[in-house]
Amino acid sequence: MLEKLAGRLKWERTGNGIRVVIPVRFPFMAVLSGMGVISLPFCVVSIFDKLGGVTGPLPVATIWVGLILGVMQMMIFFTTKHVLTLSPAETTVQSRVLGIGVRKHTFATSRQRNLRFVPSEYGDWLFMSDVSRVEIDRDSKARKFAFGITEQEADALIEKMTAVYNFHKIEPR
């Protein structure tokens, strides 16, 4: 049974580890791009109409295609979650959209270092490349998850993660 951890995070104990569900918060510009998805079919019909005239049910179908695409994109923005399953042996980060697993990464917990919260430099509302997140180093690369997480949520998440496994801290050179 999932319990509230902090803010939007929910967690549960699994054997000798934990499972945490982290809703992804997309920046404003990404959500705004949904308007472009909705208007794209209208632009296509407009271009073809100027080229030679579009008649019949095509313009009406295009309106429905645009609306369906826009609704699908908004559903993706509001239902995307990361599910972190952590045990002393392995870590799994799974991305889920509409409750369906779309991407899953599993790796040895012992190969991870420097668990940290990285706040957004410009605020989480603008660019996806600068959204706040949790990072962990593995094989000299930063692995990112929990996009759009607040500092309070990150502190609670990191506290639960370090209770399961003490991640080594290696200072950068």
User: Tokens 């997140």 identify what position?
Assistant: 133
Question: 129-143 burial by CB neighbour count: b if 16+ within 10 A, else e?
Answer: eebbbbebbbeeeee
Predicted structure pTM score: 0.74
pLDDT at residue 43, as a whole number: 73
pLDDT at residue 116, as a whole number: 92
Q: How far apart are CA 30 and CA 110, in angstroms?
A: 35
- Contact indicator for 71, 78 with CB cutoff of 8 Å: no
- Contact indicator for 145, 131 with CB cutoff of 8 Å: no
pLDDT per residue rounded down to tens, the chain (173 residues): 788 888 888 999 998 899 999 988 776 666 666 667 777 777 776 776 666 655 555 566 667 777 787 788 878 878 889 999 999 999 999 999 888 888 999 989 888 888 999 888 776 555 555 788 899 998 878 888 888 888 899 999 999 999 899 887 776 54
pLDDT at residue 80, as a whole number: 87
Q: What does 53-97 look like in DSSP terms, one character per residue?
A: ---TTHHHHHHHHHHHHHHHHHHHHHH-EEEEEE-SSEEEEEEEE
Q: What angle do CA 64, 70, 72 make, to 5 degrees?
A: 100
User: 100: which residues sit within 8 A by CB, 6+ positions away?
Assistant: none
pLDDT at residue 54, as a whole number: 55
pLDDT at residue 94, as a whole number: 93
pLDDT at residue 18, as a whole number: 93
User: Tokens 């759009």 identify what position?
Assistant: 148
Smallest CA-to-CA distance from 115 within 57, 77, 170 is with 170
